[in-house]
C-alpha cells in the first residue's frame, strides 16, 4: 500500500511552512504546525493558545495524511500511480481538501487518462483563494501547483534506471551491428 514518501512530505512542508501556534490561514481556516487544518471545535480547543514543536507538527502532518489524504487517493484515483504522482496528489489534497479533490476536474482527467498538458492545466487552475470574500490568484498557490504538476510528471528513479539500461543496451546493440556490418 503506497503512502506519502519523504519527498511528498518535504513538498508539503516547503509550501506550508512551520507555525508553532494556531493561526488562521489565507482562506480563513484555523491551522497549526505544517498547515494542519483544525476542523472541529474540540481539536481547535486542544491546540488554541499552545505552542507545538516541529516534531509534534510532523506527527500531526503524518496523521492527517494517513487519515484524510492517502485514503482519498486510494479510493478515488482509478489508475495506477507511481510514487511521484501519489506524492503530488497528497500535497494537492492536503492543501485543497478531500472534498474539493473528489469533485475536481483534475481527478476526472487523471481517471480518464487525459494528456499531460490537460492534467497540468487542471493543477494550475487551483491557484486561487478567498481573501476578504473575493476569489484571487495567490502567488504561493501558483508556485505550489507548478511544483505538484512537475512532481506528478517527474520520472521516478526506478523508471530513470530502466531508461538508462535500455539506452546502454541499444548503444551496445548498435555498436555490435555496426562492427558486424564492417566485417562483411
In a structure prediction context, what are the per-residue pLDDT tens digits for the chain, which is 184 residues long?
999 999 999 999 999 999 999 988 877 788 999 999 887 777 777 888 889 999 999 999 999 999 999 999 999 999 999 999 999 999 999 999 999 999 999 999 999 999 999 999 999 999 998 888 889 999 999 999 999 999 999 976 666 677 667 777 777 877 777 777 777 7
Question: What is the pLDDT at residue 159?
Answer: 66
CATH topology of domain 6-153: Lysozyme (1.10.530)
Cβ–Cβ under 8 Å, residues 22 and 36? no
Helix (H) / strand (E) element for 33: namely: strand 30-33
pTM, two decimal places: 0.83
Q: Which residue has the cell 506519502?
A: 4
Say what the pLDDT of residue 163 is. Answer: 66
Rounded to whole angstroms, the Cα distance separating 91 from 97 reads: 10
Helix, strand, or coil (residue 153): coil
Alpha helices in 48-156 (DSSP H): 54-64, 70-76, 83-96, 98-102, 105-111, 116-124, 139-152
The predicted pLDDT at position 164 comes to: 66
Helix (H) or strand (E) run with residue 171 in it = helix 157-183
Which residue among the candidates 14, 16, 116, 118 is catalytic per the annotation? 16
Identify whether 56 is a catalytic site residue.
Answer: no
Query: Which residues does 144 contact at the CB level (< 8 Å), separation at least 6?
Result: 15, 91, 95, 127
Residue 24 phi/psi, 5-degree rounding, is -100, 125
What phi-psi label fits residue 183: left (phi over 0), alpha (psi between -120 and 50 degrees) or beta? alpha
Amino acid at each position: 500500500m503506497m503512502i506519502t514518501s519523504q519527498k511528498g512530505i518535504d513538498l508539503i512542508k516547503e509550501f506550508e511552512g512551520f507555525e508553532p501556534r494556531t493561526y488562521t490561514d489565507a482562506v480563513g481556516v484555523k491551522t497549526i504546525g505544517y498547515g494542519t487544518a483544525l476542523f472541529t471545535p474540540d481539536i481547535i480547543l486542544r491546540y488554541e493558545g499552545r505552542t507545538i514543536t516541529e516534531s509534534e507538527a510532523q506527527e500531526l502532518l503524518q496523521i492527517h495524511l494517513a487519515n484524510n489524504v492517502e485514503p482519498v487517493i486510494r479510493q478515488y484515483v482509478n489508475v495506477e500511480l507511481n510514487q511521484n504522482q501519489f506524492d503530488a496528489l497528497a500535497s494537492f489534497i492536503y492543501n485543497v481538501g478531500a472534498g474539493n479533490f473528489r469533485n475536481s476536474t483534475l481527478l476526472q482527467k487523471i481517471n480518464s487518462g487525459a494528456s499531460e498538458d490537460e492534467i497540468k492545466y487542471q493543477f494550475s487552475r487551483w491557484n486561487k483563494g478567498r481573501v476578504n470574500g473575493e476569489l484571487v490568484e495567490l502567488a504561493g498557490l501558483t508556485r505550489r501547483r507548478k511544483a505538484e504538476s512537475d512532481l506528478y510528471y517527474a520520472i521516478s528513479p526506478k523508471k530513470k534506471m530502466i531508461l538508462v539500461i535500455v539506452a546502454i543496451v541499444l548503444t551496445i546493440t548498435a555498436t555490435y551491428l555496426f562492427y558486424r556490418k564492417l566485417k562483411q
